[in-house]
């Protein structure tokens, strides 16, 4: 008779095989009501799953990440159920979980309208309220194909027919609706309490543009209505903070069709961009990096040696010269760094060498994937390549992690998650090498007391990596910095250093990016701050405005005095009403507005208005300079 071991270490014995739901009920009525699924020996299963041998069991509820994904998966099926009730001629295809939601693709004779979506959502709510049981059934493959063909679901029949013959497949039934699925699912539709349909988009069957176009309905689902409301509020905030709109409003940058995926930086945007580089240059110099620069265009042979030509060719921009040489715009800075290290003989005394580069890289991204500054074809990486001995590897990893986290704090990112991605199936290098590299990253984090999440199999083909995920002010996550350890590229480029015993040894190479793409990080900052940059980053830190033409000369003098102190200041001498000027510069998110009238001119002062509308009153120019310097220094 089975013994069930629970996460708290306790055990429960049963006289007969028992379902997950029955185990939950034996623990308490509250847990029985909350149970959505179970994890039996690490495998996610339905609450109806029968446990007939000694097993480890964790009850999954909506408090667990797996529980929320389960809710989203089941809500996708609820969507399909509602569509079939309202539009019987529609055919269902696939409906997976995606980040923060789900979608389902349908074949239907006409486009779904916003009114259709409202009706579908209403029917979903009705079906959920009826608390219809969801049950798993196992079918023979050929019987399932015949069944779906008989009810006119040719797409489902095609999917099932692709499964090897003789296999048993699982279907899930809720009411009159039956769908192909591996599961698991929530035990009944009543568990689905907080969802909303978001939009309709086109999608090709099986993602192939040669196939017919389907209609994809996107939705979101959450554990409760409060979480749903919070998510919808984040979407509203994200819309207000859209960096593409703010970039135009603040006169930072633009894009145009004849240079897709490439940024046209305006003067204010370029000022912001250069401030980021200057900040990073200072921090890297303090941390012992030396800055280098490598060519943007290099011969095909170099990319063959690095392996990019064979693994990344479709993303590279290439050109051929009259003498038949093939060149590529660099998609990565690594081969250039290899070539830099290879120049001259290196000794163990020279290591570690920390080589930083603000390298311009070019990658072909499909036009449909381009998204403002967040996804471009031409961008700048704050790359660094650290060459060190194996003994130095762990300390260098710790130093990089500490530097990354400290830099993020300077930009207001205190909530940072770290992901450790380990060896993939398709990899190069021996297991012994991978053990060393993964061990160095894990040990660095452990010794620093830094928590991390393990992602087995998600590393690069040449080495494991750390990814740093920032959470912004409205709760969105952004993957930015990376740290990778690599012993393969040094091998490919035959890099060596002279060891203490005069033998030649391979260096370990660390690939490191802090912001990642500066263009993308700029887009993230615009949305994080909603355009209200801290004073030190603001492209225009203050604007001096005269009330009438009588104060224009004094306003210009104030502007020049502030510029001589190193501040980025503009004067607004337009013959417009002061209320208009204040509103205009408030829309442009300028941190300080200095208003000068006859009184201020006579007393040699300025009336200061802070961003957000706070009136700071009159102050002398020296007082204002002290305030600015204190704020920037702080």
Catalytic center residues: 334, 363, 381, 383, 385, 465, 511
Kindly provide the b/e burial profile for residues 556-574, where b requires at least 16 CB atoms within 10 angstroms of the residue's own CB: ebbbebbeeeebbbbbbbe
Query: Would the annotation count 480 as a binding residue?
Result: no
Residue 233 known to bind ligand: no
Q: What is the 3-state secondary structure (H, E, C) of 458-511?
A: CCECCECEEEEEEECCCCCEEEEEEEEEECCHHHHCCCCEECCCCCEECCEEEE
The residues with which 139 forms a beta bridge, in sequence order, are: 169
Count of other CB atoms within 10 angstroms of residue 314: 6
Is-contact 153 196, C-beta < 8 A?
A: no
| 196: β partners | 220
Distance between CA atoms of 134 and 174, rounded to whole angstroms? 5
Torsion of CA 71, 75, 76, 78, to 10 degrees: 150
Q: Which helix (H) or strand (E) holds 12?
A: strand 11-13
Known binding residue 388? Answer is no
CB 581 within 8 A of CB 572: yes
Which two structure tokens, joined as six digits, stand for 474? 């409205």
Alpha helices in 298-389 (DSSP H): 300-306, 308-311, 334-342
SS (H, E, C) 260-288: CCCCEECHHHHHHHHHHHHHHHHHHHHCC
Backbone angles phi, psi at 68, to 5 degrees: -65, -40
Strand partners for 545? 572, 595
SS3 82: helix
How far apart (Å, rounded) are the C-alpha atoms in residues 126 and 589?
47
Edge to edge, what strands does the sheet with 326-329 contain? 297-299, 326-329, 318-320
Side-chain half-sphere exposure of 440, counting CA atoms within 13 A: 30
Among the listed residues 476, 477, 512, 511, the one whose alpha carbon sits nearest the alpha carbon of residue 403: 512
Binding residues for Zn(2+), by number, are 334, 385, 511
């Amino acid at each position: 008779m089975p013994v069930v071991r629970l996460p708290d270490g306790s055990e429960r014995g049963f006289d007969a095989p028992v379902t997950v739901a029955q185990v939950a009920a034996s623990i308490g009525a509250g847990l029985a009501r909350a149970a959505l699924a179970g994890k039996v020996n690490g495998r996610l299963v339905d609450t109806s799953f029968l446990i007939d041998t000694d097993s480890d069991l964790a009850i999954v509820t909506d408090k667990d990440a797996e529980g929320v994904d389960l809710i989203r998966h089941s809500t996708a099926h609820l969507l399909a159920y509602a569509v079939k009730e309202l539009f019987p001629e529609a055919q269902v295809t696939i409906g997976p979980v995606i980040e923060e939601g789900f979608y389902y693709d349908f074949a239907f004779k006409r486009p779904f309208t916003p009114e259709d979506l409202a009706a579908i959502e209403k029917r979903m709510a009705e079906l959920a309220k009826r608390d219809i049981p969801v049950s798993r059934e196992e079918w023979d493959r050929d019987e399932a194909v015949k069944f779906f063909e008989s009810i006119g679901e040719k797409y489902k029949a095609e999917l099932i027919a692709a499964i090897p013959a003789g296999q048993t497949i699982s279907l899930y039934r809720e009411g009159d609706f039956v769908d192909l699925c591996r599961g698991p699912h929530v035990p009944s539709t009543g568990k689905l309490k907080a969802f909303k349909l978001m939009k309709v988009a086109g999608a090709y069957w099986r993602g192939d543009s040669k196939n017919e176009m389907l209609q994809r309905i996107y939705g979101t689902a959450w554990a409760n209505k409060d979480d749903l409301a919070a998510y919808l509020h984040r979407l509203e905030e994200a819309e207000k903070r859209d960096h593409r709109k703010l970039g135009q409003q603040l006169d930072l940058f633009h894009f145009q069709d004849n240079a897709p995926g490439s940024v046209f930086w305006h003067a204010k945007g370029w000022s912001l961009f250069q401030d980021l580089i200057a900040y990073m240059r200072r921090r890297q110099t303090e941390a012992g990096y030396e800055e280098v620069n490598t060519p943007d265009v290099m011969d095909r042979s170099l990319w063959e040696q690095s392996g990019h030509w064979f693994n990344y060719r479709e993303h590279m921009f290439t050109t051929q010269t009259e003498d038949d040489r093939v060149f590529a715009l660099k998609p990565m800075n690594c081969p250039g760094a290899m070539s830099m290290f290879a120049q001259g003989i290196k000794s163990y005394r020279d290591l570690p060498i920390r080589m930083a580069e603000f390298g311009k890289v070019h990658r072909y991204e499909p036009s449909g994937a381009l998204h403002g500054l967040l996804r471009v074809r031409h961008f700048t990486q704050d790359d660094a390549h650290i060459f060190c001995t194996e003994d130095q590897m762990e300390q260098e990893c710790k130093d990089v992690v500490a530097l990354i986290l400290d830099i993020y704090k300077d930009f207001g990112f205190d909530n940072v998650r770290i992901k450790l991605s380990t060896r993939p199936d398709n990899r190069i290098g021996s297991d012994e090498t991978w053990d060393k590299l993964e061990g160095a990253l894990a040990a660095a984090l452990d010794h620093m007391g830094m928590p991390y999440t393990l992602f087995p199999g998600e590393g690069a083909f040449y080495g494991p990596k750390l990814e740093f995920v920032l959470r912004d002010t409205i709760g969105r996550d952004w993957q930015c910095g990376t740290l990778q350890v690599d012993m393969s590229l040094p091998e490919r480029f035959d890099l060596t250093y002279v060891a203490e015993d005069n033998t030649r040894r391979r260096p370990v190479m660390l690939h490191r990016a802090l912001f990642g793409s500066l263009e993308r990080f700029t887009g993230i900052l615009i949305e994080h701050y909603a355009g209200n940059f801290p004073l030190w980053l603001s492209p225009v830190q203050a604007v001096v405005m005269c009330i009438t033409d009588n104060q224009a000369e004094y306003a210009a003098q104030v502007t020049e005095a502030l510029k001589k102190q190193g501040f980025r200041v503009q004067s607004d001498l337009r013959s417009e009403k002061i209320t208009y000027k204040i509103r205009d510069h408030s829309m442009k998110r300028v941190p300080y507005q200095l208003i000068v009238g006859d009184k201020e001119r006579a007393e040699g002062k300025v009336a200061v208005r802070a961003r957000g509308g706070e009136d700071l009153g009159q102050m002398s120019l020296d007082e204002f300079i002290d305030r600015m310097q204190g704020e920037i220094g702080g």
